[in-house]
Homo-oligomer: A and B are copies of this chain.
Amino acid sequence: MFLVNGAGKHCIDVTDRGLQYGDGLFETLEVVQGKPLLFDLHLQRLLAGCSKLLIPQPNLELLTAEALAICSDAEHAVLKIIITRGCGGRGYRQPDPVMPTRLLSRHPYPQYPDRFYHEGIVARFCQHPLSINPLLAGIKHLNRLDQVLARAEWQDDAVQEGLMLDCEGYLVEGTMSNLFWIKHHTVYTPAIERAGINGILRQWLLTYLDRAGINVVIERFLPESLLAADQVFVTNSVIGIWPVRQLNDQLFSVGPLIRELQAAYQDVRCGAQR
């Protein structure tokens, strides 16, 4: 199910700068009982991204109406919103005026086995590094070749996520998730000032941890820090919170703090159902 600038169709103009240059950004949301989760946080990030990329802000009322309409009869689904700089001529110079393209699509919720949530997943390190650019870091933009190439490193369904380092060898995130670990009751997650995505679950989680008075350290880490962890988990808006039970050959336990975080986020999901 696709809506392009409000019209139900399955194609987009070939001159759209989303295609020509990856010139745009996107959001991916879990939909529960017709309601996109943490919708306000996603809209805030979308607006912040538009601002950084100098793309005119979409009409939020219209975008919200379309998002709710496309999801209204979905019990459990994924909503993807793409905003591009719209159509333009050949060349990097922006069209004048910019008329952004708004693309909403609804997808079936992936059929993940319950054990990913309860027992945890298997992860690996990827060889392909993340590009470094402080000016693009954090933004969920459409330039995603790094993730595509990292995800292409394994076909084995026994591995659910790949962890990525930046070009200088610092840990950043998973191909589709943010990365956290726990050591001695402190939560660690890599800084995303030079590479990486400012995930909505990451934002939600950092707020939760702050309110709960749990110590959090956000900085640049080498892989060694992660390998010395007691527990590891990854987050994104579709999977929620998945423990990592195995990273390469190393096993990790799933302790009470991860269970507490999962339960707290489950409350958010159930709140959407009421």
In the bound assembly, the distance between CA atoms of A166 and B235 in angstroms comes to: 31
- Check A198 for interface membership: any CB of B closer than 8 A: no
- Check A149 for interface membership: any CB of B closer than 8 A: yes
Chain A residues packing against B (C-beta within 8 Å): 2, 4, 9-23, 26, 28, 53-54, 78, 80, 82, 84-85, 89-94, 103, 105, 107, 110, 128-136, 141-152, 167, 175-176, 194
Q: Which of B84, B132, B147 contacts A21 (CB 8 A)?
A: B147
Q: Which chain B residue shows the least CB distance to A11? A: B11
Residues on B with beta carbons closer than 8 Å to the beta carbon of A10: 13-15
Residues on B with beta carbons closer than 8 Å to the beta carbon of A141: 145
Q: Which of B17, B28, B103 contacts A14 (CB 8 A)?
A: B103
Interface centre among A2, A20, A144 (most CB of B within 10 A): A20
Q: Which of B13, B21, B89, B103 contacts A142 (CB 8 A)?
A: B21
In the bound assembly, the distance between CA atoms of A274 and B113 in angstroms comes to: 65
Q: Which of B22, B91, B107, B130 contacts A133 (CB 8 A)?
A: B130
Q: Which of B11, B12, B142, B176 contacts A92 (CB 8 A)?
A: B176
Q: Which of B13, B85, B105, B145 contacts A148 (CB 8 A)?
A: B85
Q: Which chain B residue shows the least CB distance to A84? A: B19
Between-chain CB contacts (< 8 Å), 5 pairs? A12-B14, A17-B148, A21-B142, A80-B90, A129-B133
- Does A53 contact B12, Cβ atoms closer than 8 Å? no
